[in-house]
Structure 1
Amino acid sequence: MTTIAELVASAGGLLHKRDLVAHGATDRHLTSAVRSGSVSRPRRGWYSTWPKGDPRHVAVAVGGRLTGASALHLLGAWSWRRPPVTVSVPQTASRLRRRRGVRVVWDSLDLSDRGSTWAVDPRDALARAVIDADSFEDAVLLVDWAREAGIVSDDDDAAEVLSRLRADAAGLAAWSEGGAESILESVAGTRFRRAGHHVVRQVPIKGTNKVIDMVVDGIIGLETDGRAHHADRFEKDRAKDSDIARSGRIPFRASARMVRDRWRSTADAVDALIHMAGGARPVAEVGNSSLPRVLGPRGRRRWRLAMPRQGIGQELPTVVC
């Protein structure tokens, strides 16, 4: 006989009483399952096999669904740290069970038609996550990941999703040009662009089947590497560095620690190499000249973007403190 826990687990870890009853469960069966600890009841009518500290369990217990970075984190979103739990509830919600450290946001009723029983639709979660991000860099990181994961497609699609809660967030689509395949590539690219460098991602090396993570100012062929170096990987990386050099660029390899913990010295090294090579090379595109300007915090927002004036290009990005 199939147990209550097996039925709930097969549904993804959360199931309503009516669905269990449809499978033949009785009140006695449900009570026994809860007392045995094989399932828990985060909220009246709902049964779960998730641990009580699981963000999904917490969201249901509060009376809503996961949203923002906490929902995207469970889908594999890139992040340096585990985000706090944010719970979406409809504007008409009542009888919520508040939890310390859990943020509750009231969303429009149309969000209830999208997503799952425990989380809002990933595109709605993204719109919330970017405006709640601790920094502009974290916001771009989420958009880069969403492009790589296929949650948003082209620039127009990304801009539509990102502007659902704040109009200026649509400008993140310009800062996230796509092509980043890891948290290191995303962060390094954003930092270089904010410093005024021209960055092109995923640049093919002519005459090979290899691709450079990013080219900075037309000179530096930059590779980011978060993996431990084994003998076979080491040889392949050195061979790729040689191919980058033969393509007329200076190879530079940055480890995870160099990006996360020693960025200032890493950026200084890249600047020195560009200077030694005679300065940035002319590129086909203007690049940073059309990027929305990054503004300082206001209220709950840790970052904002200047709204572009119609028909007038933006200057190189600067940070207003």
Structure 2
Amino acid sequence: MDPCDALEAFGGVARSTKLLRAGVTAHRLRRALARGEILRPVRGVYCLPGHTSDLLAATCVHAELACVSAARGLGLWTLRPPSLIHASVNHGRALDARFRVHRSEGPLTPLRICLQVMRCLPELDALCIVESAVALGHVPLARLKDSVGGRRDGALQRIVELIDPHSQSVLETAARYHLRSAGFSTQSQVYIRGVGRLDLYVDGILGIEVDGRQHHSDHREFEEDRRRWNLLTTQGVPVLRATHALVTREPDQFLALVRTAIASRRPGH
């Protein structure tokens, strides 16, 4: 097997033992290294040229990515990047200040990663990751519930109870979390005839569309967005557009806008 192809399959970095098990011969490794096709940053570790990542840093210290760092590697939703590299080790040597060390027995499956983040991260950050694991099909919700049934798992159980498997994005998850924490009733992905689905529907009155994009990708998408907006207006469904900055950096302002919008639709206004 070609060393570059093998490294690409492993995320751009791997230990020599892993490459040899995948069918890469020692001779081909030496030849690719001599040609500059691959690099060896430390003994026993190979990577593609120009590759820099948390995975490379962890592999170089005989560790595996864990918790939120592993979740990012799986493509799960993370509300904000971690300040440290979360890693799991099976040796007793200390890691440097770049790392937050987790102890874990056995392979780091998506389920184990979910359990790690729920024990390690703030509630909302953990919810975004575990909800995406369910929504994207990595972990069945029933399996997650079965894994947090202990008497000391109260905090984890609360997170699991907040999961909505219909959520479509990290921003939708964060907006719904803030709304429910403030006492609002919310529904996700509510179908409106002729319009499609609204990301969130609050108190049966207000629609919310979460939008992390800075602009529309093309004219057709712009026109479709305006068509939906006009239909919602004619059907008497007010809609707030919630940006990433509003939901994640100014949740109090987001909630104030929701309260004002709902109050304006109550009888007597």
TM range (shorter): 0.7 to 0.9
Instruction: Tell me which residue corresponds to 2:203.
Output: 217
1:87/1:105 contact within 8 Å kept: yes
Instruction: Tell me which residue corresponds to 1:305.
Output: none
The TM-score, its normalising length taken from structure 2, stands at: 0.81
Deviation string, structure 1 residues 85-104 (Cα, Å, up to 9, x no partner): 111123xx24x362222122
Name which of 232, 240, 249 aligns with 1:261.
249
Instruction: Tell me which residue corresponds to 1:274.
Output: 262
Structure 1: runs of 5 or more not aligned? 113-119, 280-321
Hey, what's the Cα distance between the residues in 2 that align with 1:186 and 1:19? 38
Counterpart mapping for 1:44-193 below 5 A: 44=44, 46-49=45-48, 53-83=52-82, 84-90=84-90, 93-94=91-92, 96=93, 98-108=95-105, 111-112=106-107, 120-133=108-121, 135-154=122-141, 156-161=142-147, 167-168=153-154, 169-193=156-180
Hey, what's the Cα distance between the residues in 1 that align with 2:32 and 2:228? 61
Structure 2: runs of 5 or more not aligned? none
Deviation string, structure 1 residues 257-297 (Cα, Å, up to 9, x no partner): 33233433332121112122227xxxxxxxxxxxxxxxxxx
State whether structure 2 residue 182 is matched by structure 1 residue 195: yes
Hey, what's the Cα distance between the residues in 1 that align with 2:245 and 2:24? 52
Deviation at 1:131, TM superposition (A): 2.0
Length, aligned pairs only: 261
Provide the secondary structure at the position in 2 that maps to 1:271: helix
Provide the secondary structure at the position in 2 that maps to 1:224: strand
Q: Residues 107 and 157 of structure 1: is their aligned pair in 2 closer, same or farther, counting only changes over 3 Å?
A: same
Hey, what's the Cα distance between the residues in 1 that align with 2:196 and 2:99? 45
Q: Residues 24 and 101 of structure 1: is their aligned pair in 2 closer, same or farther, counting only changes over 3 Å?
A: closer
1:16/1:47 contact within 8 Å kept: yes
Provide the secondary structure at the position in 1 that maps to 2:210: strand
The TM-score, its normalising length taken from structure 1, stands at: 0.69
Q: Percent identity?
A: 23
Root-mean-square deviation over aligned CA pairs: 3.2
Q: Residues 19 and 175 of structure 1: is their aligned pair in 2 closer, same or farther, counting only changes over 3 Å?
A: closer
Deviation string, structure 1 residues 196-236 (Cα, Å, up to 9, x no partner): 00010011113x26011110011101111222146543432
Instruction: Tell me which residue corresponds to 2:227.
Output: 239
Hey, what's the Cα distance between the residues in 2 that align with 1:34 and 1:88? 32
Hey, what's the Cα distance between the residues in 2 that align with 1:97 and 1:58? 14
Deviation at 1:62, TM superposition (A): 2.0
Hey, what's the Cα distance between the residues in 2 that align with 1:18 and 1:141? 32
